Amino acid sequence: MATDTLATFPRPGLAVDLAILTVTDASTDPALRVLVQDRTDPVGYALPGRFMRERQTTTETARDVFVHKVGIQPGSEIRPRLLRLFDDPDRDERTWAISAAHWIPMREAALESVRGTLVPVSRDGRLDGIDRLLFDHDEIVAGAIQALRKRYDYRRSYDDHTPPDPDGFLAEPFTLHQLRRVHEAVLGERLHKDNFNRRMKQYEFVAPVLNDDESPALAENLRGRPAALYRRAGQAERRPE
Amino acid sequence: MATDTLATFPRPGLAVDLAILTVTDASTDPALRVLVQDRTDPVGYALPGRFMRERQTTTETARDVFVHKVGIQPGSEIRPRLLRLFDDPDRDERTWAISAAHWIPMREAALESVRGTLVPVSRDGRLDGIDRLLFDHDEIVAGAIQALRKRYDYRRSYDDHTPPDPDGFLAEPFTLHQLRRVHEAVLGERLHKDNFNRRMKQYEFVAPVLNDDESPALAENLRGRPAALYRRAGQAERRPE
DNA sequence: ACAATAGTGTCTATCAGACAATATGGC
DNA sequence: GCCATATTGTCTGATAGACACTATTGT
């Protein structure tokens, strides 16, 4: 907080832009996607965003973006994560506008009937079939993907006490195969099956589902030996960041 | 960027607050410190900060903070790092004001004759001799220290291709002993001499200083066997973030 | 000679990567 | 029986932590 004589200087419009990330078909054919919307003002694709209204917080503004721009009623768990500020005074020729770029992971179930398209992210972090987004939104998407991938690096996560699939893209119960496929979809790279499974079993965060007779519950697969089912264990404890 | 009808809504005052970190006496008795200033408006200690003037960037505002609040003329290398936004609408009772909290590492040499006090940081991240700062500035300092310590974790840095002492607190040439002491001062914990030195020699980022006859240059110490001198090697390459 | 610090060597535990072998279901 | 997948075991290389030993200076 600064102690200038205030209210006398021009003030910037402050917008919240959201890179909404999700994993679709998490349990069958997981794919990392970003919500992108069509624009007509300048024609092209862009992220949903909105200027902050009087005495709103960024979180409240993000909620408004969901209600008015995305067209869904978000739960209470909305927690946008700040990436950076875009503050080039000439980035909006209409007025002095600063954008607070955020990213937010959402479960696919919460994104039914959204306005816009869930565009798949390719391995190298580009958007499939979209050349470029309007404004500085390509940078926002790149930063969002990088942040999410860092969060889903299961080796780093182990040190940080972050559980696997921390954003819950995959519904319970799940097999380790499904869990690994979700991580692979987020990271854009293959993971070693045995090393991944070994690591997961060391976590306090995943626990096998047991039948009434204490035997491990098994998934009913189409092919191959049935896999054991797991769920997230208690242990929610802290979220360091 | 959002496409509302704009210029019609109230806008927030946007301030840039700076946690300026440095290591004093880097080559002899290094200590991590934060620049804190006395306030009279509300009485207490606070970080330097300032509202953004028309069509300024955050970097330009940070530069103004240095010139007008800190009282020094910063070089061109000013690069404030965003920590978070403080957007509680009631945090400033005078007006709707949002603070963009930044941290920035500075060399001690650049901080001669600053207005304010360079307060030492204790091992647990608290400020020595200061109970609490005004406003939400304790949180900013805590976040700044956490970010700098993460940056100075030499094991993580190795993976990130970040050089040791990436912010150049220590002047060249230096011994590995001095370099380790700087890292210890930042991290607030002791490091193993042999493991640290072993890691440093694996870096492409530090190179031994050689005399004309190709023999390694040695430091002139008060006591003990003279240590080899090192400098930062080329290899500046990328700064991932 | 002694204190103090620099530099080197080595042992151990951990763990990711990699591969092999076995187990268990559907067809 | 055959195929596909799950599960378990093992080997290797890299490396952090820890400790011991030698080297080189000033006093």
Question: Can you say how many angstroms the Cα of residue B148 is from the centroid of all Cα atoms in its chain?
Answer: 6
Q: CA-CA distance, B54 to A10, in Å (whole number)? A: 6
Confidence of residue A3 (pLDDT cuts 50, 70, 90): very low
B55 vs A contacts (CB less than 8 Å): 10, 89, 96
Whether B51 sits inside 8 A of A96 (CB atoms) is no
CB under 7 Å from strand C: A 155, 158, 192, 194-195, 198-199, 218, 221-226; B 175-177, 193-194, 197, 221, 223-228
Q: Note the pLDDT of residue B160.
A: 75
Q: Note the pLDDT of residue B4.
A: 47
pLDDT digits (tens, 9 = 90+) for A19-40: 999 999 999 999 999 999 999 8
Q: CA-CA distance, A123 to A178, in Å (whole number)? A: 19
- Answer for the pair A200, A176: CB distance below 8 angstroms, yes or no: yes
pLDDT digits (tens, 9 = 90+) for A41-61: 789 999 999 999 999 999 999
Q: Note the pLDDT of residue B214.
A: 73
- Answer for the pair B228, B218: CB distance below 8 angstroms, yes or no: yes
Whether B1 sits inside 8 A of A46 (CB atoms) is yes
Inter-CA distances, B59 with A85, A102, A119, B62, B73, Å: 11, 20, 34, 5, 14
When mean pLDDT is compared over A74-78, A82-86, B133-137, B156-160, the highest value belongs to A82-86
- Answer for the pair B189, B174: CB distance below 8 angstroms, yes or no: no
Residue A69 DSSP symbol: I
Q: Note the pLDDT of residue A235.
A: 52
Nearest by Cα to B23 from B10, B9, B38, B33: B33
Q: CA-CA distance, A60 to A160, in Å (whole number)? A: 29
B11 vs A contacts (CB less than 8 Å): 11-14
Write the DSSP string, A100-139: EEEEEE--GGGGTT-SSEEEEBPTTSPBTT----STTHHH
Nearest to A9 among B3, B41, B54 (CB): B54
Residues 6+ apart with CB under 8 A from A48: A17, A18, A20, A35, A37, A65, A69, A70, A116
Nearest by Cα to B105 from B149, B136, B156: B149
> Among positive and negative, which fits the CA dihedral A83, B238, A145, A169?
negative
Inter-CA distances, A144 with A110, A149, B104, B125, Å: 19, 8, 23, 29
Q: Note the pLDDT of residue B235.
A: 52
Give the pairing type, strands A230-232 and B81-86. unpaired
A226 CA to C27 C1' in angstroms comes to 15
Whether B1 sits inside 8 A of A91 (CB atoms) is yes
Q: Note the pLDDT of residue A202.
A: 82
- Answer for the pair A4, A41: CB distance below 8 angstroms, yes or no: no
A136 vs B contacts (CB less than 8 Å): 1
Q: Note the pLDDT of residue A150.
A: 92
pLDDT digits (tens, 9 = 90+) for A190-203: 999 999 999 998 88
Q: Note the pLDDT of residue A41.
A: 79
pLDDT digits (tens, 9 = 90+) for A91-126: 888 899 999 999 999 999 999 999 999 999 999 999
- Answer for the pair B144, B21: CB distance below 8 angstroms, yes or no: yes
Q: Which of A76-80, A144-148, A234-238 has the lowest mean pLDDT?
A: A234-238
Tell me the pLDDT of chain B (241 aa) as tens digits.
Answer: 444 455 578 999 999 999 999 999 999 999 999 999 999 878 999 999 999 999 999 999 999 999 999 999 988 778 999 999 999 999 888 899 999 999 999 999 999 999 999 999 999 999 999 999 988 999 999 999 999 999 999 887 777 778 899 999 999 899 999 999 999 999 999 999 999 999 998 887 888 998 877 777 877 766 788 889 999 886 544 333 3
Q: How much of chain B is helix, strand and coil, in % rounded to 5?
A: 25, 25, 50
Residue B138, H or E segment:
helix B137-151
